[in-house]
Amino acid sequence: MRRQFPILLLLLLAMVPLRAHEAATAATPNVLRLHILANSDSAADQAVKLSVRDAIRPLFSAQSSYDDARAYLLANGAALQSAAEKVLTEQGVSYGVQLSLGTEEFPDRTYDGVLFPAGEYDALIVRLGRGEGHNWWCVLFPPLCIVSDTGGTVDLKTAQPESIVVRWVKGWVAQWNAGK
């Protein structure tokens, strides 16, 4: 069995590039994004979008896990909604705001030197009015748009999601070592 381990490991590593495209197009686990859609592309609606972003972002707090981040959003949804509605009132616009948790398609994006490949991600979606204008997005977990914008640091080695292949290999190696 010990002689077979290097061969199995090489075969597994050879399969990783073949699965990369599949992984990039499937929903990415343990990543939660924020997506704000402006009512339209008018300069006024784009300014409202940025004002809403600036009003709600301070309400987020960095969480230590995806589940905690999602629970935090669910528990604080009313405060986020109120903050966004207050901006709309102050800006004198007549359209409303909708908040929802869902899955959306995102393009490739690099945050703090880490590539988040194009694909489907869980997201808090903030739709202003018709939601037909240019949008703004960031990553809530790992907390890249919270901590990095406030001058803090994020340890991406511990915060970024781990590949299911990596977890499988670690588990397999642990079982193999336990069987020695």
Residue 97 in domain? yes
**Does 168 reside within a domain?**
no
13 within a domain of the structure (yes/no)? no
In a domain, 67, yes or no: yes
Residue from 82, 78, 88, 83 nearest 128 by CA: 88
Residue 107 lies in a domain: yes
Task: Summarize the confidence of residues 112-131 as an average pLDDT.
Answer: 90
The structure's pTM equals 0.67
Residue 86 sits in which domain range? 28-152
Q: How confident is the model at residue 143 (pLDDT cuts 50, 70, 90)?
A: confident
Is 16 among the domain residues?
Answer: no
Q: Is residue 148 part of a domain?
A: yes
Number of domains in the chain: 1
Residue 75 pLDDT > 50: yes
The predicted model gives 174-179 an average pLDDT of: 65
Residue 2 lies in a domain: no
Which tens digit of pLDDT belongs to each residue from 21-65?
333 434 467 899 999 999 999 999 999 999 999 999 889 888 889
Beta-carbon count within 10 A of 136 CB? 17
* pLDDT value at residue 3: 61
The β-bridge relationship of strands 114-116 and 109-111 is: antiparallel
The residues near 53 (Cβ < 8 Å, ≥ 6 apart) are 36, 136
pLDDT over threshold 50, residue 71: yes
